[in-house]
């Protein structure tokens, strides 16, 4: 059964497949502007779990505050955030989804209404290898919840990967394949109560 820790790790890493371009290090302001402009997106993802196993599925993003991971078989799980909460649905459980506040996960950082990576004590790492820019960020008010490491390419700026390290140091990586920005995604996809009703039927 996927636990809260698994989701925080899951947020752990999202890599978008694309050919990176040689570029200078992106500034925190440039990356913040990119994330704030990422209103909706959807595509395929591959998740590298903390134990090295792989999962695949579809991801839907609708900022602020909403994201949905639909896992393919044999997992068939669902992880979603909406209304300030995260819910983890496990088809093998009869007890309903695990639920907890979104602000207790590192994903909150990129799903905030106004992302400002220049805030004091938010960014703990900011490096470039000449091709990608890597930024590690945490909630400065609650660093105990872990951090998220994001990898970007430039020209145009794109998020290629994120890795979430949870409160006990476990890491999860997610690779995004063919993420398409823009388009309409209905709010119903992020309605936890509606999803609970669907799973009970």
pLDDT of residue 136: 97
Provide the residue ranges of all domains of the chain, joining segments of one domain with +. Answer: 4-200
pLDDT for position 12: 47
- Taking the C-alpha atoms of residue 113 and residue 15, their distance in angstroms, rounded to an integer, is 22
Number of C-beta neighbours around residue 30 at 10 A: 15
Q: How confident is the model at residue 135 (pLDDT cuts 50, 70, 90)?
A: very high
In whole angstroms, give the CA distance from residue 8 to residue 140. 17
Q: pLDDT category, 28, cuts 50, 70, 90? A: very high
pLDDT at 88 over 90: yes
Looking at residue 24, its pLDDT comes to 81
How far is residue 134's CA from residue 146's CA, in Å, rounded to a whole number?
16
What is the average pLDDT across 161-186? Answer: 90
Query: Which pLDDT score is estimated for 6?
Result: 53
Q: pLDDT value at position 8? A: 53
Write phi, then psi, for 180 (nearest 5 degrees).
-105, 120
Which CATH number fits the domain 4-200, given the four candidates 2.50.20.10, 3.10.180.10, 3.40.50.720, 3.40.190.10?
2.50.20.10
Mean pLDDT for 81-89 is 96
Is the pLDDT reported for residue 178 higher than 90? no
* Tens digits of residue pLDDT in 5-21: 555 555 544 444 444 44
């Amino acid at each position: 059964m996927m636990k809260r820790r698994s989701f925080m790790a899951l947020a752990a890493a999202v890599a978008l497949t694309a050919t990176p371009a040689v570029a200078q290090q992106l500034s925190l302001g440039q990356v913040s502007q990119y994330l704030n402009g990422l209103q909706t997106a959807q595509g395929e993802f591959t998740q590298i779990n903390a134990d090295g196993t792989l999962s695949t599925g579809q991801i839907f993003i609708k900022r602020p505050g909403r994201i949905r991971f639909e896992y393919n078989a044999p997992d068939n799980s669902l992880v979603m955030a909406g209304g300030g909460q995260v819910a983890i649905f496990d088809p093998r459980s009869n007890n309903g989804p695990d639920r907890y506040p979104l602000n207790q996960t590192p994903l909150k950082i990129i799903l905030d209404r106004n992302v400002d990576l220049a805030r004091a004590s938010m960014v703990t790492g900011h490096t470039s290898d000449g091709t990608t820019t890597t930024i590690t960020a945490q909630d400065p008010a609650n660093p105990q919840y872990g951090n998220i490491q994001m990898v970007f390419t430039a020209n145009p700026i794109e998020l290629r990967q994120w890795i979430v390290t949870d409160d006990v140091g476990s890491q999860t990586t997610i690779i995004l394949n063919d993420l398409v920005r823009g388009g309409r995604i209905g709010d119903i996809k992020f309605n936890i109560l509606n999803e609970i009703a669907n799973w009970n039927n």
